[in-house]
A and B are shown apart, each in its own frame.
Chain A
Amino acid sequence: MTTEEAPVTLADAPVRRLNMIEAINDALDIMLAHDPDVVVLGEDVGFFGGVFRATAGLQKKHGKNRVFDTPISECGIIGVAVGMGAYGLRPVPEIQFADYIYPGLDQLVSEAARLRYRSAGEFIAPMTVRSPFGGGIFGGQTHSQSPEALFTHVSGIKTVIPATPHDAKGLLIAAIEDNDPVIFFEPKRIYNGPFTGYYDVPVEPWSKHADSAVPEGYYKIPLGKARSVRSGEALTVLAYGTMVHVAERVMHDKGIDADILDLRTLVPLDIEAIEASVRKTGRVLIVHEATRTSGFGAELAALIQERCFYHLEAPIERVTGFDTPYPHSLEWAYFPGPVRIGEAVDRLMKA
């Protein structure tokens, strides 16, 4: 079993160095060209090209029937996407910040997520809701949240979180082609460069990172498959989004021979990859930026103890954000950075 997709056909594809925004833009561009049923909608996504520039140039290239601005109504944005899906389109709505998704929850949770089930497959909601999430940009409590666990808790929604430009493109294409509703959370802290948790050093651009090599053209990374960031024997690290890079750096700095999995898709989860890694190492560190209580880490810990209990050699460690709103000025006190991760690693290795 492998956790790394084998893009055989991509091996010879020309490669460009893209940051995550450019990779997302590229995926949208390709899908708009590839499938006449794809439409992109959201606040400021049209003429302006999005407040983070993820949709820059797309309206000009593909026209206003395919890429258009919306009223400021998350309920409306997601609700009309449900209706467009019922017609047969493949809408890709953007919610400007994950923190603003809540007015759209009824349309997502009660409608999009259950359309297939309640109509026995007559109607589906093949939408991909893109939304920047996570902190680290001094956005305060309304531009920093990581609400992924709210969505993983809902039956019928897939939740995808890329950690590199390469994956962002391939996963977004797969999400758009998926016939189920997908929440596609983009870690905005790493839009322009991988963040290692050291907030006081200059940001390194993606161009210096291997995973900014993005093949040109169409490719997809299957949903439900984790990525092996690093193979190791000492402990398993389960992370996604920004925290993949933070955890990787901490393991490197501490000289830990870690087996690091970037989950990439939370639902459906790559349980095989997780089980294989835990059986190998016997020690598990789960890292997420979201609040701790009922966070996705709790689900991971429960699954591992159910399935790998007799392979565990230490209690599972969860490193998370604190159970408070994301504070503005104490952002770096809140963020689950190298010290919090390091302490957990020490406990795991001593046990």
Chain B
Amino acid sequence: MGSSDIPRSDIPRANRPPLSFHVPEPSFRPGDTVEYASLNIPAAGLQPRPDEGCDAHDTHPLCLDLIRVLGDDHRAVGPWDPRLEADTLRRMLRTMALTRAFDERMYRGQRQGKTSFYMKCTGEEATSIAAGMALAGDDMVFPSYRQQGILIARGYPLVEMINQIYSNRADKLKGRQLPIMYSSRDHSFFTISGNLATQLPQATGFAMASAIKGDSRIAAAWVGEGSTAEGDFHSALTFAAVYNAPVIFNVVNNQWAISSFSGFAGSERTTFAARAIGYGIAGLRVDGNDALAVYAAEKWAADRARANMGPTLIEHFTYRAEGHSTSDDPSQYRSAAEGKEWPLGDPINRLKLHLIALGEWSEEQQAEMDRGLAEEVKAATKEAEKNGILGHGLHHPFATMFEDVFEELPWHLKEQSEQAIRERAIKWPEPAAKGPAA
């Protein structure tokens, strides 16, 4: 054994107590009953709302609080009530419900073998849709992988999303990217990376560029609480603080990073919003399942950024109601009761009940809307399937594999492209039957 080669002493030092090693452990594991008494959830409406132009320090008490607008009676209360028109609330509700219907259908599609992979955002719809609606349409968003709601809110066609998920011949990303790794410059939606947290310093950089040019656009990034552990998070916040960049960092704290609970990103010590305190930037902690609170917080941060008051970190406190992805089985590591009994409820249900309480909506209208949305998604799916599904591969000419590596094709990629096309003729001799020619 090599260990003996390594010089060190195994003898405990006299008079010094032995150190002990701490490994975080979540409160509940599979089979456990859950109780959330220790979770500090303040009543809605109690949280103060400082002016958008305030000193960053004035927001820091809010980093340890929880901004909530929708009360137990489903009424909007307190200074953070964004006072949105009923039409806007209905649009928000519809977009969230559409996103959920879309997720349901795409998840089933993956299970049916129509694609390789899918990720739902169930339970977290408000953190992308309500937040996205608080931004201007041309503010650049730097999403992680669970912000499909922003794309839908910005009117990106469902058919295009499904084309991407199926990697079919109409996929604008040419079948290159893993499903759900969308990109749409026209919708100011930055290309999604499979690597985590890389988008954060990029959002800071976009915001710095906008400031350098005297533009009015801001940037907003989303990241899971687990990925705040990456060094990119620190770089992004440091640069944002140093250059007072007009950027919003949305930390979606959905409690779970695959099988690792938020304690593995530091939640045993403090909140994720409290990271803002150390950087001296504004921070807000918000009930992520309260669409009005999410909207209000994001709007506050956007207005602040636009007023040259710099960056804001927002923690959206929510719950990942489903698995990490179609490759995950959460029943292996967390209690099923955890999601069912999540004390902050479901964002769609809460917004629906608010609209009903306002007399602007009804259960019947909700049911009718849900039926319509399911039909809309079904129709989009059928439309997209005309362009093929992943299982029927080879939708893209092989030459496309070599395009966009560089702006222009160097000699070696030209040679390799010819090789790939030659192989196609041998491996798949009837390309016309399955897709466009090589």
Contacts and interface: CB of A to CB of B under 8 A. Distances in A.
Contact of A333 (B7, B178, B424): B424
Contact of B402 (A43, A65, A139, A322): A322
A106 to B, nearest CB: 9
Interface string B316-329: 00000000000110
B2 interface: yes
A293 B178 CA distance: 24
Interface in A132-176: 138-143
A225 B416 CA distance: 33
Interface stretch (A70-78, A238-246, A253-261, A307-315): A70-78
Interface in B178-222: 178-179, 181, 193-197
Nearest to A293: B412
A323 B196 contact: no
Contacts of B171: 329
Contacts of A298: none
A279 B424 CA distance: 35
A213 to B, nearest CB: 26
Contacts of B424: 333
Contact of A340 (B229, B258, B398, B423): B423
Interface in B20-50: 21, 23-25, 29
15 contacts: A51-B327, A51-B328, A65-B21, A71-B229, A88-B6, A99-B195, A143-B194, A177-B1, A179-B2, A329-B176, A330-B396, A333-B401, A333-B424, A339-B426, A339-B427
B23 A64 contact: yes
Contacts of A184: none
B2 A140 contact: no
Contacts of B264: 69-72
Contact of A328 (B167, B226, B398, B423): B167
A124 B6 contact: yes
Nearest to B410: A323
A337 B413 CA distance: 18
Contacts of B259: 44, 47-48, 69
B5 A328 contact: no
Contacts of B419: 322, 340
Given A46-B23, A103-B231, 10 more contacts: A44-B258, A47-B259, A48-B258, A51-B328, A64-B25, A292-B412, A322-B413, A328-B175, A328-B179, A329-B175
Instruction: Sort A-B residue pairs by CB-CB distance and give the 4 closest, nearest first.
Output: A142-B194, A140-B178, A329-B175, A71-B229
Interface string B419-430: 110011011000
Interface size range on B against A: 35 or more
Size class of A's contact patch? 35 or more
Contacts of B230: 72-75, 103
Contacts of B327: 51
A330 B6 contact: no
A350 to B, nearest CB: 17
Interface stretch (B87-95, B353-361, B387-395): B387-395
A299 interface: no
Contacts of A100: 195-196
B104 interface: no
B8 A333 contact: no
Nearest to A342: B426
A322 B401 contact: yes
B23 A140 contact: no
Contacts of B175: 327-330
A324 interface: yes
Contact of B413 (A88, A323, A327, A339): A323
B412 A330 contact: no
B109 to A, nearest CB: 14
A48 B426 CA distance: 44
Contacts of B396: 329-330
A181 to B, nearest CB: 13
A117 interface: no
A43 B116 contact: no
A330 B6 CA distance: 49
Contact of A330 (B1, B117, B398): B398
B405 interface: yes
